[in-house]
A and B are shown apart, each in its own frame.
Chain A
Amino acid sequence: SYELTQPPSVSVSPGQTARITCSGDALPKKYAYWYQQKSGQAPVLVIYEDSKRPSGIPERFSGSSSGTMATLTISGAQVEDEADYYCYSTDSSGNHVVFGGGTKLTVL
């Protein structure tokens, strides 16, 4: 079955740049999406179609994709950005939906 692989945790100090990666064999052909989930809350879309930012999402959130890896970048991370981040995509057929295992971002 298709898998997306994320690091379990990333830690940065406030104001630093946080980068969270997501690797998958179909990413050269399929878009990556990123969700932020704060403790006890529902996920929120922060990046769609590799690099597009929904309205209301701060400009410090950006996305990119190259080859089999997609990256979520938070430039100047804030304490309020502490959350679990999940990448999402489909396999090359588009029939199998998968979430990455999630990355816990700590900002302190």
Chain B
Amino acid sequence: QVQLVQSGAEVKKPGASVKVSCKASGYTFTSYGISWVRQAPGQGLEWMGWISAYNGNTNYAQKLQGRVTMTTDTSTSTAYMELRSLRSDDTAVYYCARLMTTVTTYWFDPWGQGTLVTVSS
């Protein structure tokens, strides 16, 4: 079955960077993209961006442009999300999800288990 397994929880200081991994299994990795979505404590879902595992093309949320980088390693079917210059309001659970696409739309299914990133001095 399709499964996305994420790396473990992280605690970072303000100004630092974090890199979260997402290992995919159960499907052909390069046939789909990977999207990242985060959820601050007690808050809703916030889309961060996506990356094509086929050609590495990316689309980032405007709010995070310049601070986020998404990459993939096709040899290990793993996607990565790096967020730099961390602030306290970056504290959240970060999810990866397989990107499902048609000609006109895209959505996310299934999702990884989530990675808690805590930013605190």
In A21-67, which residues have CB < 8 Å from any B CB? 30-31, 33, 35, 37, 42-45, 48-49, 54
Asked whether A97 lies within 8 Å of B112 as measured between CB atoms, the reply is no
**Chain A 68-97 near chain B by CB (<8 Å), digits 1 or 0:** 000000000000000000101010001101
Beyond A31-B105, A33-B107, A49-B105, whether A42 also contacts B45 by CB under 8 A is no
Say yes or no: A44 contacts B105, CB within 8 Å: no
Q: Tell me whether B44 and A102 are in contact (CB under 8 A).
A: yes
Whether B44 and A99, one on each chain, are in contact in the complex, defined by CB atoms closer than 8 angstroms, is yes
With A30-B105, A31-B105 known as contacts, the answer to whether A45 contacts B110 (CB < 8 A) is yes
Evaluate whether A99 and B95 lie within 8 angstroms (CB atoms) in the complex, with A45-B110, A48-B107, A94-B104 already known.
Answer: no
B114 at the interface (CB under 8 A from A): yes
Task: Give bound CA distance, A90 to B110, whole Å.
Answer: 19
Question: Majority SS of interface residues in chain B?
Answer: strand
Give the interface size bracket for B toward A.
20 to 34
B45: contacting residue among A31, A44, A102, CB under 8 A: A102
A99 with B47, Cβ < 8 A, contacts A30-B105, A42-B95, A90-B105 known: yes
Measured in the bound complex, the distance between the Cα atoms of B37 and A37 in whole Å is: 13
Using CB atoms and an 8 Å cutoff, list the residues of chain A in contact with chain B.
Answer: 30-31, 33, 35, 37, 42-45, 48-49, 54, 86, 88, 90, 94-95, 97-102
The 6 closest A-B pairs by CB, nearest first: A42-B111, A99-B45, A97-B47, A45-B109, A102-B44, A33-B107
A-B contact pairs, 12 of them (CB 8 A): A42-B95, A43-B45, A43-B111, A44-B110, A48-B109, A49-B105, A86-B44, A88-B108, A94-B104, A97-B47, A97-B61, A99-B46
